[in-house]
A and B are shown apart, each in its own frame.
Chain A
Amino acid sequence: MFKKWVNNFFLVVFFIFICIGIFNYIIDPYGIYNFNINLPKIMQEDKIRLIKAIKIKDIKPASIILGTSRAETGYNPENTYFLQPSFNAGNSGASMYEERKYFEYALYQGNLKQVLLVIDYIMFDALQQRHVLDFDTYFNQSIFFKYKYLFSLKTLRDSIRTIKQNKKDYIAYLYNGQREHNYKLKYIMDHGGYSKVFYDKNYYINYLPEYKYKDTHKLSFKDFNIILNLCYKYNIKLTIIFGPSHILQWEALDRYIGYKNWLKWKKDIVLDVYDLARKYNQKPFKVVDFAIYNKWTSEKIPTNLQDNMKYYWESSHYKNCLGELVLNYLKYRKPKGLGSELNIDNIDQHLNNLKIQRKKYIKYFDIKKIK
């Protein structure tokens, strides 16, 4: 009686697992098994950190873009600025730790020569050091690694959603890791246009100015320095930029983190880069600030639903075309005024200029509404 029960248990369990595994492999909701069934991978977003790790192993990039969703949205790896093949490893709300792991993994593939690190304050102050519990396992991929996701309830649900979906032409991510260029348009139109979604005054409500991951209390500058050290060690061309979010974003930041702390952070980055250059007795890595006040970053917000914005989705995320301008600036220092290269000699003056320009530019916006 008990023996029969035990045998039946194993038989039924085995049968169910085999059926689920085959079903998930055929539907392939995350596009990681390369089974060519023609269904848009609408569920990629939920597993994008995993997918990006797998793609890095597949592509073995010569250049890589690191950063948060701003970097993920704004920079096209196929731009001629980047050595090819290139991959955008930016991730939504990424911590410096997470981006360090992608960098190390790309380096481990043996082909990496160039890195564009698009830093955001929230990377250094991330609410979670790892946004997914099994994140670290993504970078220790055995031959069977990706097949374990075949036997997952989440994959099964996502396979069913992939079949049931009716978004025939939907693409969330491009093969190169960048967000699809117009992915946010529908969201903005559905929510009443740019003016309705543009500014979130509570964006930084849970952040504290302390350069620590909030859940683990580990220091984020440590991960930043690991990237820098490895770039020196392996002769990688690293460029660090502060991304060109809209100037209203820094007013949201001011509410909870403080504008002064934001400027101090910029200075700390520059000092850190210079300290390390001194240690290695080498030229410091290039640091360029695009989070400044100019005609691009102060683009007017349309009030009509039908009116489009050229450079922004909302105050945090900028469009691919602004990313293209940034890459152009990094190549040719054009268009003038878009960015400002920082070094130890000009950083104080630069930060003073920002304070002055803030007052000048911000008056064009409805401050009462913002604050």
Chain B
Amino acid sequence: MLFNSYIYIFVFLPITFIIYFYLIKKRLIILSKTFLIFSSLFFYAYWNIMYLPLILISMLFNYSIGNSFSEIKKQRIKKIILVFGISINLILLGYFKYSDFFIENINNLFHVHLSLLNLALPLAISFFTFQQIAYLVDSYKGETKEYNFLNYALFVTFFPQLIAGPIVHHKEMMPQFANIWNLSKNYKNIALGIFIFSIGLFKKVVIADTFALWANNGFDIATHLNMIEAWVVSLSYTFELYFDFSGYTDMAIGSALLFNIKLPINFFSPYKSLNIQDFWRRWHITLGRFLKEYIYIPLGGNRTSKVRTYINLLITFILAGLWHGASWLFVFWGFLHGMALVIHRIWHNFNFKMNKILAWFITFNFINISWVFFRAKDWDSAIKILHGMFLGELILPEKLYVLHDFNIKLGYVFSDIQGKDKTFIFVIFAFIIVLFFKNSIEYMSSFKPTKWTLIWSVILFVYSVLSLTKVSEFIYFNF
């Protein structure tokens, strides 16, 4: 089920909310939690019921493994069980997500013709696998305290974060499910939830989906792009991805708040970053946290030699690329980010300083260009966009006829991407929002129940719901 759908906003969410708190009011606490788990599973299965057994088996398996650590005293046996648990999770993820990628590469490398499995990627598998691996590692270290199955099941399946994160940590979730103070209706949380949900809905439905049209046309359909078109296409995707995913996260945070659950922050104005390290502290923060704690640090982090640290960074980000999808383009995107982090670290080690505007300019453009590889379906599409951006023909709008004497071609600028003059205005508008406005988390933390916040919430909510007829998926559902 999509957050940006009538069924979610007007049926699923209100009904789940009402029944959940009704059961709590009747002091049926266990039943209320069980109901929330079943509602979450319904939310998951609404998309495709076929994969419901998969998430159930995965949840039971990981809970049993995690629980077994408290009963086993011998460290060696615990380690064997941990390796077994992580392996099963990775095999499951690998089977569904990477089998065809692996087979394709074998076919290309050895010139054989093994058949592809053509498996559909189970929804949210990358997210719930990562969450549960973290749980296993921490249980092994003895850092988990909560062994109640209902709370564990809620930690994995709780619908606001189930499909595309934030990648929550058991330490921040399970105590919240166990806390009895979270079991009563809290109007402050409801108001905050509505407020941030409305912002998220607007980001997704109005902003991201508008940019999606030009990005999709440019990447997937147009065969030629002029220079301005190519830049607009790449920027459209850069903004689409941000507003899509941060919009999703805002809606997840808002939905969870209705149930008095606080999800972690996942975005904090990433396009304001002045360097690549700063970017990864602001973009998909929970993924960055996972990569750091469960890949980078176990590899040795920065506690070893400089060269080894750089290699660790590269490995971590190549794996981050691969986590996003089974394609060499994702691997290359991860490699680019890993390299950028290595260069940044070298720069930092030399204690060089850079003008802030120049630093932002370089960082933003690097991110924008690297997203081209992230979005493109194949290398040819990526090269088409980059060729347009740097070597494409410069065509300016006919309105600028004064430039005709300078031998600059004038004409219809956005014809290949179905854009109009407003395309350019939208890009400027997006720059202003991401660079000069507070982010939704900042707005939420300064929220007061005034008539102005009411008016803004109503405008954002009504405008977004009225734009819902063209329902589209979230980009991160594919990962």
Interface string of B446-479 (1 = CB under 8 A from A): 0001000110011001110111111110000000
Closest A residue, CB atoms, query B466: A153
Q: Which residues of B contact A151 (CB under 8 A)?
A: 465-466, 468
Q: In the complex, A13→B416 CA distance in Å? A: 39
A132-B462 in contact (CB<8A): no
User: Does residue A156 face the partner (Cβ distance < 8 Å to B)?
Assistant: yes
State the CA gap A153–B466 with chains docked (Å).
5
User: Is the CB–CB distance between B222 and A206 below 8 Å?
Assistant: yes
State the majority secondary structure of interface residues on B: helix
B: contact size bracket: 20 to 34
State A4–B188 Cα separation when bound (angstroms). 10
**Chain B residues within 8 Å of A208, by CB:** 223
Q: Which of B191, B449, B457, B466 has the most CB of A within 10 A?
A: B466
Q: Are B221 and A214 in contact (CB under 8 A)?
A: yes
Asked whether, in the complex, the Cβ of B187 is within 8 Å of the Cβ of A3, the reply is yes
The secondary-structure label for the interface of chain A is helix
- Residues of B contacting A1 in the complex (Cβ-Cβ under 8 angstroms): 449
CB-CB contacts of B389-408 with A at 8 A, as 1s and 0s? 00000000000000000000
Contacting A at CB under 8 A, from B163-206, are 187-188, 190-191, 194
Query: Is B449 a contact partner of A4 (Cβ separation < 8 A)?
Result: yes
Q: Are B224 and A205 closer than 8 Å at their CB atoms?
A: yes
Bound Cα distance A214, B216 (Å):
11
Interface flags, A149-179, vs B, CB<8A=1, else 0 = 1011111100000000000000000000000
Residues of B contacting A149 with CB < 8 Å? 469
Pairwise interchain contact A154-B416, C-beta atoms closer than 8 A = no
Q: Are B466 and A156 in contact (CB under 8 A)?
A: yes
CB pair A154 B469 closer than 8 Å? yes
Q: In the bound complex, what is the Cα–Cα distance between A156 and B462 (angstroms)? A: 12
Which of B221, B377, B449, B468 is within 8 Å of A127, CB to CB? Answer: B221
Give complex CA distance A1, B377 in Å. Answer: 51
The answer to the question of A203 belonging to the interface, with a C-beta cut-off of 8 Å to chain B, is no
Of B190, B216, B223, B472, which is within 8 A of A206 by CB? B223
* Pairwise interchain contact A206-B416, C-beta atoms closer than 8 A: yes
Does B143 belong to the interface (CB within 8 Å)? no
Whole-angstrom CA separation of A5 from B470 in the bound complex: 30
* Identity of the chain A residue whose Cβ is nearest the Cβ of B416 in the assembled complex: A206
A134 interface contact, C-beta 8 A:
yes
A sample of 13 more A-B contacts (CB under 8 A), given A16-B458, A148-B6, A151-B465, is A2-B187, A2-B191, A5-B449, A5-B453, A9-B458, A12-B458, A17-B465, A127-B221, A133-B470, A152-B466, A154-B467, A214-B220, A217-B377
Jot down 5 A-B pairs with beta carbons below 8 A, ordered by A. A1-B449, A5-B449, A13-B462, A151-B466, A206-B221
| 4 shortest interchain CB distances as A-B pairs | A5-B449, A153-B466, A2-B187, A3-B187
Residues on B lying within 8 angstroms of A by beta carbon are 6, 187-188, 190-191, 194, 216, 220-224, 377, 416, 449, 453-454, 457-458, 461-463, 465-472
